[in-house]
Structure 1
């Protein structure tokens, strides 16, 4: 977020005073008008804190008042309110109400604009603001947050107390991490970006791939390609107790861009019955034949020997599920080839020695710490997937998924898919974030708003791939 603040300071230094705030207010007012549908006669309440965030709300409220809305500003810090914004609102016919008498106006409002705290806010809402935010949430009004919902932390996405739950967040200049990462993301509602002329670096602290970005990364065969030149991925997964994990990991791998899949493990019969194109071996990873990447761990049980053997190879390795439990930290840290670890929050908590709640409450910090401790690329699964590089550069975030992906075996499909992208030549960061993107899209295509199974998700990967490429 310091990058954003620096860009704002640099832009304000070149522009007449107040220009940036007016740009933000104009975009904010337009978004509110679009949400209201009919501005004239509508009732709008502004929850106004101190500083520029409150100023944005006041200037936007003034624009709505000039279009015929009845606008009431509730000043939570009257002594520190933005003077110019308040004057503009009053000139436009807006009213001011005290915080202790604002309950009725909020309950009658069509729209409540949250301008309580800006991107510099830390911790949850103060008691007065919490009370008013609660009334707004229980009312029939649409709640619109200015830049980000008050009470969430812009830098980390953490929510350390009460926070505003918005239906729409209008953010300025660039997406803030807190709008992309849970738990804050669920407070933001729909997010709308308003350009205000900020000049930001091409690489940010948090990156989110788009279709065009992924289309440039995905492997494509040429006229000279054969199955071996396209890459071979090895899958060491499954056990007598969990043969399905092997089938699902192979299903993802077969659809991930590599030319062939070698399976190693005790579930060879069920794998070959479902996918006869798989190259099956029960002689262990060392005797399976040459591969360009390994996937190890899904459903493997307590087979620590196989996990250690795979980690001892000199090709990229993806470690998932049981493999995360069996892979020692020193074995991962000592590898010279890339390693991609794919834990969910519970597994990440066990690896870090903390509570699951700690990981879910601060996923950005958790994934960065895991990547640093294990010297590996880490894909932290969740409603928003995070991928962190051990070098500490920009982190990737992915939100293409759906809650229906929270189903048994879904992670096995993701592992196979990512492993196949590794074998096709993508870096661990690109393979992890690209697989998460495709997996999320496939989940949406498979579910379409209804329950779905992991095998359905795997079958929709080609559709997601075509959607990205074309």
Structure 2
């Protein structure tokens, strides 16, 4: 897995590293990596480096210093460089290195006591300096800075490279202030940062490259981990030559209602195609008929007292009294289960346990938190999703999989894995029902061993495979949840 750290952790590690060396050498190391990735982007986009025109938006702190040192390196490779200073001053040593390289300096902002007319004129001059550039570097605010920023207008077709992180993105949470400039590439220093993986930060960061500046021995435990394809492949349960249908895992599925019979079909189809040993389904009459037509290998169940290895509960059950009663029966028995959709509404804090995986979206997480006495709006959750998913995991003593463009999987002890393999076409009706079927099948097949951390890894792996299935389903154009369910379990491994 790839470790990610908060900005607070990174700054503490940098402080430890600086005890043994001067800050300028650390800054030059970061700048070397930044310049390397900028040159790679210039070659890929324009065919070469020499003669390109690069402008950098330079802040007053160390982030601006990183940008200035990088620009000095670019100038040495034949790049025409313009530094646009957005404050009354810039990092002294970095500015000196840049001016020695022959770069051009433009004042693009002003001091706090500058008149509005003077600041407007400087912004105009900065915009003029950006009119014919081939690439823009955002080196205004770094990991320790927060708050709204005002930036000159960037031409729409010019690629943007963020130095360490897009200015205005919180490195700890991914929250973004107004006016953040979306990057095509973020070159971040020391380690991957949480704020580049979650919330608005993920959308604004573009592609991410990490530059090693020697922090690895000083960072300690990561804030979270990012699942890779290799991790997902290793964590996927697989049958052996000695297995039979029962030893491979039996999943019970409580899904569907008179109003939403299709959700049961989607979950059942996905479960079977994710290679569960046997599927037992508990559904109202119409949903049961549709399941039998779509998935003839599914075995109807008369109630929730059948023998299974795990349950998946909630897709499409709406407010059906019999279905909700079955959910409550499973919750009361303490069995391994996926709790999704309307099944989440029946869950009370005291019913949570270490073998449950809750799969809310943001609105459902808001409701879950209220029941454990935690007030957080949907906007609060979107701004800092890891924090609120952790609150819910503690409140219900269960694993939480928070759905979204970044899937966040959390154990009650705070152990967190995220999945970034979530293609945009997954935002379609019924996609969550497919994920529930896939995750349920994997939970049954794994026999729920290994504790909550193992369940977090299993949940993240299911989300990863859900993303892989979306890529398979979309190979020949758009797709709906029905096609996604039919290819569940297919992908890169």
Do both share a fold (TM > 0.5)?
A: yes
2:219 is equivalent to residue 195 of structure 1? no
2:280 is equivalent to residue 270 of structure 1? no
Given candidates 453, 459, 462, the residue that maps to 1:432 is 459
Give a deviation string over 1:50-70, Cα, whole Å, max 9, x none.
222111100110011112222
Q: Which residue of 1 aligns with 2:171?
A: 154
Given candidates 14, 18, 24, the residue that maps to 1:8 is 14
Q: Which residue of 2 aligns with 1:42?
A: 52
In structure 2, what is the Cα distance between the partners aligned to 1:67 and 1:299?
A: 60
What secondary structure does 1:108 align onto? Answer: coil
2:432 is equivalent to residue 411 of structure 1? yes
- Within-5 A mapping of 1:177-326: 177-200=194-217, 203-266=221-284, 267-281=287-301, 283-286=302-305, 289-302=306-319, 303=321, 304-326=324-346
2:390 is equivalent to residue 398 of structure 1? no
- Within-5 A mapping of 1:34-183: 34-37=40-43, 38-79=48-89, 81-99=90-108, 100=122, 101-125=125-149, 130-132=150-152, 135-136=153-154, 138-183=155-200
What secondary structure does 1:386 align onto? Answer: strand
Give a deviation string over 1:301-337, Cα, whole Å, max 9, x none.
21321120111123211110111123233333xx4x5
2:374 is equivalent to residue 357 of structure 1? no
Work out the number of aligned pairs and report it.
Answer: 451
In structure 2, what is the Cα distance between the partners aligned to 1:374 and 1:121?
A: 34
Per the TM alignment, residue 179 of structure 1 is displaced from its structure 2 partner at its CA by 1.1
Per the TM alignment, residue 202 of structure 1 is displaced from its structure 2 partner at its CA by 7.8
In structure 2, what is the Cα distance between the partners aligned to 1:444 and 1:320?
A: 24
Bigger Cα displacement from structure 2, 99-108 vs 323-332: 323-332
- Within-5 A mapping of 1:321-340: 321-332=341-352, 335=353, 337-340=354-357
Per the TM alignment, residue 449 of structure 1 is displaced from its structure 2 partner at its CA by 7.7
2:478 is equivalent to residue 463 of structure 1? no
Given candidates 13, 33, 38, the residue that maps to 1:32 is 38
Give a deviation string over 1:366-395, Cα, whole Å, max 9, x none.
2122222222211111111111111222x1
In structure 2, what is the Cα distance between the partners aligned to 1:203 and 1:308?
A: 38
In structure 1, what is the Cα distance between the partners aligned to 2:480 and 2:220?
A: 38
In structure 2, what is the Cα distance between the partners aligned to 1:219 and 1:202?
A: 30
* Residues 252 and 416, structure 1, Cα contact 8 Å, conserved in 2: yes
What secondary structure does 2:489 align onto? Answer: helix
Per the TM alignment, residue 346 of structure 1 is displaced from its structure 2 partner at its CA by 1.9
Q: Which residue of 2 aligns with 1:20?
A: 26
In structure 2, what is the Cα distance between the partners aligned to 1:392 and 1:30?
A: 36
What is the TM-score normalised by the length of structure 1? 0.91
Give a deviation string over 1:158-181, Cα, whole Å, max 9, x none.
113221211111112221111111
- Report runs of 4+ in structure 1 exceeding 6 Å deviation: none
* Residues 124 and 152, structure 1, Cα contact 8 Å, conserved in 2: no
What secondary structure does 2:473 align onto? Answer: helix
* Residues 320 and 415, structure 1, Cα contact 8 Å, conserved in 2: yes
Per the TM alignment, residue 430 of structure 1 is displaced from its structure 2 partner at its CA by 2.0
Q: Which residue of 2 aligns with 1:369?
A: 391
What is the TM-score normalised by the length of structure 2? 0.87
What secondary structure does 1:150 align onto? Answer: coil
In structure 2, what is the Cα distance between the partners aligned to 1:36 and 1:149?
A: 19
In structure 2, what is the Cα distance between the partners aligned to 1:20 and 1:290?
A: 60
**Structure 1 449/78 Cα, relative in aligned 2: closer, same or farther at 3 Å?**
farther
* Residues 173 and 383, structure 2, Cα contact 8 Å, conserved in 1: no
Mark the runs of 5 or more structure 1 residues left unpaired by the alignment: none
In structure 1, what is the Cα distance between the partners aligned to 2:93 and 2:214?
A: 22
Per the TM alignment, residue 16 of structure 1 is displaced from its structure 2 partner at its CA by 5.7
Please tell me the root mean square deviation across aligned C-alpha atoms, in Å: 1.9
